[in-house]
Structure 1
Amino acid sequence: MFNALIVEKHTDGKTSASVQQIGLDRLPEAEVTVAVEFSTVNYKDGLCIGPGGGLVRNYPHVPGIDFAGTVESSSDPRFTAGDKVVLTGWRVGEAHWGGYSQKARVRADWLVPLPAGLTTRQAMAVGTAGFTAMLAVMALEDHGMTPGDGPVLVTGAAGGVGSVATAILAHLGYEVAAVTGRPETADYLMGLGAARIVARADLSETIKRPLEGETWAGCVDAVGGAMLARILGQMKYGTSVAAVGLAGGAALPATVIPFLLRGVNLLGIDSVLRPYADRLRAWDRIAQDLPIAKLEQMVQPATLADLPKLGADILKGQIQGRVVVDVNA
């Protein structure tokens, strides 16, 4: 028997989450059984712990869209007992039982080896948010962004993706302008390497002009909505925005003018179905380019019992940085 966070749906349509003891026979069928060591809390996790958000189709359910741990058994030759592994994406924790459990059973195709130089705890301090941040930075670099081109904007900078993006970009030598609506996070963001803080209110107002002054050499955007539309009109010629989230809304009240007159690129970043080769490249870059000391500044620890409250908190935008869940604590 082992502990897992079980979310149940009641006859009135509401859900509740509690830590329960279950057996291996409850786990879904798949090739690899992992002794989970650490997981994290992401926005999707908040939805899956709470209202479901259309992500969870079947109850009871174990959320947790990422985890790191040690292979316990495997029928796939790519993994053997004792291997350290990481999982992000593939709708684990949504359509498939996830990492909020001391054991998980998943497909071998969904796992990647733990990168050399990282512990399982550090890998989950990175987690889906940090993996997505690195994919965004890589996409911007692949489209020509280099240090010295000018300031790089990071929106939603105090959140999980934004925090890691800020630390990575600063470590690589970029001048990072961090956008936040929470003035109290300014010291935290400067500690991660931000060169300056931009108030959310300065970018959240929709204006009628499709183009403004050329300001940003790149952008990692976790907000979307009106803010993204505004930022597109402020990008330098031929630069790119990597879109990773929609905290400010899914609609994009923009014009095509920035694309046509300034050659701006809008790059969509998906981390869920990313091919294996891209995953290896991103995790290798994370091990190389994410300063571990800065990573520790982002982390707050948690246990399985803390998750119902943390799930509600992240939906309200009340989580700063990264939450690392020790499922065995």
Structure 2
Amino acid sequence: MKSKTYKALVAEEKAGEFVQSVKKLNTTDLPENDVLIRVHYSSLNYKDALSATGHKGVTKHYPFTPGIDAAGVVEESKDERFQAGDKVIVTSYDLGMNTPGGFGQYISVPGDWIVPLPGGLTLKESMMIGTSGLTAGIGVEKILGQQVKRKSGSVLVTGATGAVGSFGVALFSHLGYEVTAATGKMDQTGLLKDLGAAEVIHRDNVTRIENKPMLSSKWVAALDTVGGKMLDAVLRQTSHNGVVACCGNVLGHELHTNIYPFILRGVSLMGIDSGITLMRDRIRIWKKLSKDWKPGNLEKFCREEPLENLPGEIGRIQNGEQVGKVLVHL
């Protein structure tokens, strides 16, 4: 690997606290993997905030460069599948967890982690989608696979102003579904309507319910990004043969519910983990997101920020103040 100096956001512990700052690094310090990529864009995810603030369940050793998303151009390759100049996407696997991530201008990764940039997407657009959009896309595909019809009722999206939720609202709407967006940020109603939500409700309207095994049906499907008591409430209000796809644990990792929605209404509960999605499935979803599934309003839920602004954005996402997606321009 040729020696190149580059700029990166580095998280490190100082005086008992974790801080983030932009530093100059050298590509010779990157791990010896098959493909060196010059990163053009990344995006900020909740897992990045955990890594940047010393969460040892995400990142074991510091100083470290977070960033579970990266889109850029191959600079060097020992993998015959990739050539210098190829435009590529890398999301999840170990990137930004224990392998230096997309908040640096270079990454070195195994070829098995790389998705060729599909036609129909620019590098910038791919990171406007990023892991959060891929996660939403996996959930949408699971729901559509259960034959949920467009005119059969509304689809609920919880945590609707978050990165996964906002993309889910836009994607379901783009595909012709009536979307109900649940959020604690009712001041963002205008944004959610712009993304395509037919109705915006306060999250309490979902969770403040009678303590009954099942409740009146309100939606035919749901994309839940919250978990905990929200997921329980969503299941109990999903209609016959409905489907719920879940990917979040903001309200906790435990699910206390009952069996009746499953055995009396035939409700399906489907999990999403974009971090370990098989490569064949990643490529299929990315191709859909580059064509028929590409919302025309990506810019409505993205803000572009330079590396230098990320420490403040990390604080915002930790405090639950983040709305939409932060695109990182390197």
- TM-score tier (shorter): over 0.9
The 2-side partners of 1:266 and 1:178 are apart by 19
Unaligned runs of 5+ in 1: none
1:120-147: CA deviations, max 9, x gaps? 1110000000000000000101122121
1:205-248: CA deviations, max 9, x gaps? 36420100122111000011111101101111111100011122
Identity within the alignment, %: 39
Match of 2:310 in 1: 307
Q: TM-score scaled to structure 2, two decimals?
A: 0.96
Q: CA deviation at 1:292?
A: 4.7
For the residue of structure 1 that corresponds to 2:79, the secondary structure is coil
CA 1:70–1:243: 2 relative to 1, 3 Å: same
Asked if 1:284 is matched to 2:290, the reply is no
Q: CA deviation at 1:32?
A: 0.4
Matches within 5 A, 1:1-329: 1-10=5-14, 12=16, 14-52=17-55, 54-205=57-208, 207-327=210-330
For the residue of structure 1 that corresponds to 2:249, the secondary structure is coil
1:155-210: CA deviations, max 9, x gaps? 00111001111111001110000001011110000000000011111112364201
Q: Is the 8 A contact 1:32 1:75 kept in 2?
A: yes
- Deviation >3 Å, runs of 4+: 289-293
Q: CA deviation at 1:251?
A: 1.6
Q: Is the 8 A contact 1:206 1:226 kept in 2?
A: no
Q: Is the 8 A contact 2:49 2:317 kept in 1?
A: yes
Q: Which deviates more from structure 2 when the two are superposed, residues 66-75 or residues 285-294? A: 285-294
The 1-side partners of 2:145 and 2:296 are apart by 27
Q: CA deviation at 1:11?
A: 6.2
Q: For residue 204 of structure 2, what is the amino acid of its counterpart?
A: A
For the residue of structure 2 that corresponds to 1:217, the secondary structure is strand
The 2-side partners of 1:206 and 1:150 are apart by 21
The 1-side partners of 2:307 and 2:293 are apart by 27
Q: CA deviation at 1:51?
A: 3.3
Q: TM-score scaled to structure 1, two decimals?
A: 0.96
Unaligned runs of 5+ in 2: none
For the residue of structure 2 that corresponds to 1:308, the secondary structure is helix
Q: For residue 6 of structure 2, what is the amino acid of its counterpart?
A: F
Q: Is the 8 A contact 2:288 2:294 kept in 1?
A: no
The 2-side partners of 1:273 and 1:240 are apart by 22
CA 1:26–1:293: 2 relative to 1, 3 Å: same
For the residue of structure 2 that corresponds to 1:63, the secondary structure is coil
1:13-46: CA deviations, max 9, x gaps? x212111101111111111000000000011111
Q: Is the 8 A contact 1:50 1:312 kept in 2?
A: no
Q: For residue 13 of structure 2, what is the amino acid of its counterpart?
A: K
Q: Is the 8 A contact 2:49 2:314 kept in 1?
A: yes
The 1-side partners of 2:292 and 2:251 are apart by 29
For the residue of structure 2 that corresponds to 1:237, the secondary structure is strand
- How many residue pairs get aligned? The number is 326
Q: For residue 45 of structure 1, what is the amino acid of its counterpart?
A: D
